Amino acid sequence: MINNGFLKFGTLTICTIFALIGAVSFEQLLSDNRQYGQGSNRVLAQTSEEKEANVVCEKGSNAVVTVKDGNGHGSGFIVSRDGLIITNAHVVEGSPSVVTVVFNNGKQVPADVIGFAMGGLDLAVLKIQNRKNLPTLSLAHPNSVKVGYHVFAIGTPLSEDNRDTCTQGYISRIRADGEIQHTANTNPGNSGGPLLNAQGEVIGVNSLVATAPVFDGAGNPFAYTPSGTGINFALPVEKVKSFLADVRKERVSNESTLPKTKEPTIATISLNGQVVNGSLAEGDPIAENGAFFNSYQFQGRAGQQIVIDMTSKKINSVLSLYQVSESSEGQKPKPIAENDDIGPGDFNAQIKTNLPADGLYVIIASSHERGETGNYSLRAIATP
User: Active-site residues: which are they?
Assistant: 90, 122, 191
Whether 106 contacts 54, CB under 8 Å: no
- For CA atoms 28, 34, 35, 36, the dihedral sign is positive
Residue 383 is which amino acid?
T
